[in-house]
Amino acid sequence: MTQPITATADTTPQTPEIRSLTTGDRAFLHFTRLNPGERLEAGVVLLVDDPTLTVTELRAHVAERLRDAPALTERLSHSTMPGTGTAAAEKSSGDGFVWRPDHRLDLEHHVTAEELPAGSGQDGLRAAMDRIAARPLDLNRPLWRIWLLHGHITDGVAVVYRFSHIHQDGSGLHQALHLLFGPDREPALRNLPTFAPPGARDYARMAAALLRGIPPTRQLTSWGGPPRGGARHTWALVELDQLRRIARRNGVTVNDVYLAGVAGAIRAWSLPEWEHSRRPVHAAMPISLRSRDESEILSNFTFGARLRLPCEEANPRRRLALVAAETRRIKAGGSIGAVERRILDRIPPSASPRMLAQAASSGSRVKEAALVASNTGTMRGPYTLAGREVAALIGMPPLFVGRQHLSVALFGLGAQVCAAFTASASVPRHTELADHWLAELDALDPLVARTAGATAGAAAPRTDAPRENAPRTDVPA
């Protein structure tokens, strides 16, 4: 039975009192400290087909889960503060910060409710997501919050989980959601890669890439100038089977299909610019460097690779083939990942905060990468909130506000995936990108092509992938 709760939840940790920050944690922390008012945060929205869920029930659910999830009570602390942690963790923190459990976490702060304009639907939900993204998380508390949003529809609610990149990367998000809403105690992630020691050839390839330097990426007029304004969110929901069908047909991965959809969406959105020029744009693509024994840690183990997006190619299938060739080159049998993991492990605790901050914000340098394209993978569901099953998941990709034009990420839950787009407010027509991404999938999907042929060119109704603004019987509209 769920215990009664007050304004705080008593969380007795089952792990050491403190632990060290990873190099990735420290990088994002120093970026935030050296750039006042800037931070990198992300989130997800869980859609529940039950309008009766209350904030009291949600707090009770979270309080019960936190008793077995001490990792979610961690907050930043200076190692010179009194504590009962290990001396090794304090010594290895380098810059003086550690993760320390907050034994009296304030649930009234971390789990709140907001009533949206009645009947405002997805427009009301989107506006709420934009507002939440503009509210920085408190660095003196555990770096996550939950909002219960209700009133915008009559037959459901939305629950936003918002977190800081200082504490969680994409794999950490899997673990956090699993701890809060997952069905069992098994790890949220499986089949994580292992990295064999890199060889001389691996280092030679990395050195050659560094010597070549990073050529500037193409600057699109369609971005509307330098990025300005807050983060704006839009998304597309589609059945995972459609991406798998396209992948099987073309001998590529689901990730390749997703990225080819991004390339096609950007091309369609900025089409006049591609009629007379073939100079490419590039995306920064985060790659997880976690080992199997790091799957349950809420921290950052991520490096980035630069991916060429073939937006100049007019044929969707050739675009997909080009993307697949590019991702195969980047993977290179895992050798580059092995070198990057070795570099990550060799960064000393005494590394300069400014150097670490620059590493954290590398994906925001728009002269080198026009956007960030992430794939968080499919979450291990089903998820439940106070006995209610989550019907769908919407992503809120992280965006360096004022530095980036666009961040895109693929999220999955069960049989459904969400391509989520976070754009700076200054980017014109950014809400069109999600529909362009869906149109790219249709152009690649043999089933859609057969349906279109059977109807003699008429627009076939879409039954397997809900458009962002289309009503659905199983997802709140």
The pLDDT tens digits for 111-139 are: 999 999 999 999 999 999 999 999 999 99
Is the pLDDT score of 247 beyond 60?
Answer: yes
Q: What is the DSSP letter of 153?
A: S
Asked if domains 8-181 and 200-379+400-454 share a fold, the reply is yes
In CATH, the architecture of 200-379+400-454 is 2-Layer Sandwich (3.30)
Q: Quick one: which of 391, 374, 373 has its CA closest to 382?
A: 391
The pLDDT tens digits for 40-65 are: 999 999 999 999 999 999 999 999 99
Stretch 97-105: mean pLDDT: 91
Strands 97-101 and 19-20: antiparallel
Q: Where is pLDDT greater, at 250 or 458?
A: 250
Pick the range with the lowest mean pLDDT from 67-71, 280-284, 294-298, 345-349.
345-349
pLDDT attached to residue 450:
56
∠426-280-422 over CA atoms, to 5°? 30
SS3 of residue 413 by DSSP: strand
Q: pLDDT > 90: what percent of the chain?
A: 62
pTM: predicted TM-score of the whole model, two decimal places: 0.86
Non-local (6+) Cβ contacts of 473 within 8 A are: none
Stretch 333-349: mean pLDDT: 65
The pLDDT tens digits for 254-300 are: 999 999 999 999 999 999 999 888 888 999 998 888 877 788 889 99
pLDDT attached to residue 438:
97
CA atoms within 13 A on the CB side of 361: 24
Classify 8-181 by CATH class.
alpha beta
Torsion angles phi and psi, residue 12, rounded to 5: -85, 115
∠394-293-18 over CA atoms, to 5°? 85
Pick the range with the lowest mean pLDDT from 203-212, 295-304, 344-353.
203-212
pLDDT attached to residue 78:
86
Non-local (6+) Cβ contacts of 372 within 8 A are: 283, 284, 285, 286, 363, 397, 398, 404, 406, 407, 408
pLDDT attached to residue 297:
87
Where are the domains positioned within the chain? 8-181, 200-379+400-454
The pLDDT tens digits for 403-423 are: 999 999 999 999 999 999 999
Q: Where is pLDDT greater, at 84 or 214?
A: 214
The pLDDT tens digits for 173-205 are: 999 999 999 987 676 766 655 555 555 655 555
Q: What is the mean pLDDT of the chain?
A: 84
Q: Where is pLDDT greater, at 279 or 450?
A: 279
User: For residue 379, how far is the Cα from the chain centroid?
Assistant: 12
Stretch 357-375: mean pLDDT: 90
pLDDT attached to residue 91:
45
pLDDT attached to residue 58:
98
Six token digits for residue 14: 């089952």
Contact in structure between 432 and 266 (CB atoms under 8 Å): no
The pLDDT tens digits for 371-394 are: 999 999 999 889 999 999 999 999
SS3 of residue 21 by DSSP: coil
